[in-house]
Amino acid sequence: MSHINNKPNAPGTSVAHTTTPTRLLADLPGPGEEDTDAYYSQNHSYIHSLHETYGDEVVVSRKGQSVLFFRNPESVKSVLTSSSNFGKVWQTEGDSNTSETTDYVHNLLQPMRANSVFNMHGEENAKRRRGFRTVFLGSDSFAKSFRQEIDHGLLQWEQEGLGDVNIFQKTHNLIRNAIFVILCGDESPQVRDLVKDIFNESVNYFVERYKTPPCANSPPIVSKEDELLSNRTEIEAKKVVESFKAIVATSYPDGKNMPPATRTCLLMKMVSENYSDEEMAAMLVNVLIAAEEAVTSTLAQILQEFAYNPSVRNAALREAINQEQEILSGETGDLDYITNCALEGLRLFAPATLVKRQARKDTIVNNILIPKGTIVELCISSIHQNESMFPNSKQFDPLRSGLDHYMLGNEQLFMSFSGGERGCPGRHLALTILQLSISRILTRFDLKPSPSKPRWVNDSVPKFVVWPLDGIFLDLHRRE
């Protein structure tokens, strides 16, 4: 294990929390060298095994640098909420795995465009994020259009054929169209097909690409091919931006009579703030990727749980039927139990499994001196499987306590969306889409285990996002 040569309480050290004598990284438990191959191939399972073996504060040596894993609530919250002490990083192997246009992101299947708000830091990022608040808090404006898109998508499910189906594939299409409402409002049916093929190509390509996990001798990098595909994706996304602008200019020349979803959507916001077409296209790509991967994964796994757990499914179905009129009229309804199913799904199946930060300066957290530059990793899956916080953690229990998508309002540590200034801005929208999708799917369809395939457990792409390699199969029938 590398030895850190910093003196406790050095001048300039930022103290986030302290009660007892300061510890050094070298004082913390850990295995010494990180098992790089296990980190890349077993991902969050490997980090969970470290926490189970060494406790809530673990240090490993990665290429000679100490890396910290935390899972106790105090330390996790300290790291996430002190953005002046800890900056965001998407990956930790240095610059070699990014390119000028494309960022490798550990907790997504696909890479991100490098020139968007979410790859900026400090005030540049914060001021833009503030500008998007109305979009990310726009559930009320989007709810009716989400519901319409979902119902339209469910009609397509029927037309494509029911029975023993890949529910992951179906869910993916449904969610992408709902996410497009956030991007382009009610104009999305006119523009989204412009990028349908390239996004399908991209997902399929990266599933294949990462099927074989990276390893110590071949760490993850953005290859030339990855970059070319990512560049082509942005070129196609720019066509969406141009079409959206043209449609808005023609349909609402004086800005009047714009439907609420169009008025609130991301591209409208960016048009009104004079963002360049390039930045709008990059933002469209990044938000679509960040949003659709996580929501699709969660929803498909919740549907699988319903198929195997009839008592939970029936309780959710009763509520969906009771609230149907409200939902059809464009409200999100009073979906307490379904909301809890969504939150419990987000806890148990947390699709983005790892959050990373880097100390901007020497900082003390929970009496540990964390030297400037140290990477701190917070493994969401391991935090959610911590029995001391979530007893019977492997059980799907929508009535358990501690399910709350405001991480910081909670003593347990529900953190599917991470937290602090760089936490997930889409969490409210994600929850609304999950609530509406669950209630509409249950009202229309009956879900049972697949007659041909066992329950899907863990054959996913070896990254820190849960994305099945060959789908999830269920028996799907129209409810009479």
CB nearer ligand HEM, residue 88 or residue 144? 88
| Cα dihedral 227, 233, 235, 237 in deg (nearest 10) | -150
> Which positions from 6 through 65 interact with ligand HEM, judged by CB under 6 A?
none
Dist CA 190 CA 184 (whole Å): 9
Query: Is 376 among the residues that bind ligand HEM (CB under 6 A)?
Result: no
Long-range contacts of 53-60 (CB under 8 A, 24+ apart): 54/29, 54/30, 55/29, 56/386, 57/28, 57/29, 57/366, 57/368, 58/28, 58/29, 58/30, 59/1, 59/25, 59/26, 59/28, 59/29, 59/30, 60/1, 60/30, 60/31, 60/32, 60/33, 60/34
* Cα R_g (the chain), whole angstroms: 22
Return the residue of 131, 423, 449, 462 that touches ligand HEM, per CB under 6 A: 423
Q: How near is the Cβ of 354 to ligand HEM at its closest, in Å?
A: 8
Determine if residue 257 is left, alpha or beta; phi over 0 gives left, psi from -120 to 50 gives alpha, anything else beta.
Answer: left
Query: Is 473 among the residues that bind ligand HEM (CB under 6 A)?
Result: no
Query: Is 351 among the residues that bind ligand HEM (CB under 6 A)?
Result: yes
Query: Is 355 among the residues that bind ligand HEM (CB under 6 A)?
Result: yes
Query: Is 72 among the residues that bind ligand HEM (CB under 6 A)?
Result: no
Q: How near is the Cβ of 261 to ligand HEM at its closest, in Å?
A: 13
CA distances from 364 to 19, 71, 86, 419 (A): 11, 16, 11, 19
Cβ contact 305:261 at 8 Å? no
CA distances from 202 to 86, 228, 286, 438 (A): 32, 11, 13, 27
The contact mask relative to ligand HEM for 309-348 (x = CB under 6 A, - = no) is -------------------------------------x--
Q: In the sheet that 445-449 helps form, which strands lie side by side, from edge to edge?
A: 163-166, 473-478, 445-449
Number of residues that bind ligand HEM (CB under 6 A): 23
Q: How near is the Cβ of 163 to ligand HEM at its closest, in Å?
A: 28
Query: Is 422 among the residues that bind ligand HEM (CB under 6 A)?
Result: yes
Query: Is 403 among the residues that bind ligand HEM (CB under 6 A)?
Result: no
Tokens of 137: 């808090």
Q: How near is the Cβ of 391 to ligand HEM at its closest, in Å?
A: 22
Q: Which single residue brings its beta carbon nearest to ligand HEM?
A: 426
Query: Is 88 among the residues that bind ligand HEM (CB under 6 A)?
Result: yes
Return the residue of 68, 295, 369, 438 that touches ligand HEM, per CB under 6 A: 295
The contact mask relative to ligand HEM for 163-182 (x = CB under 6 A, - = no) is -------------------x
Cβ contact 475:164 at 8 Å? yes
CB nearer ligand HEM, residue 281 or residue 369? 281
Window of 140-148, 388-396, 426-434, 455-463 that interacts with ligand HEM by CB under 6 A: 426-434
Site of interaction with ligand HEM (CB under 6 A):
88, 118, 182, 287, 290-291, 294-295, 298, 346, 351-352, 355, 416-418, 422-426, 429-430
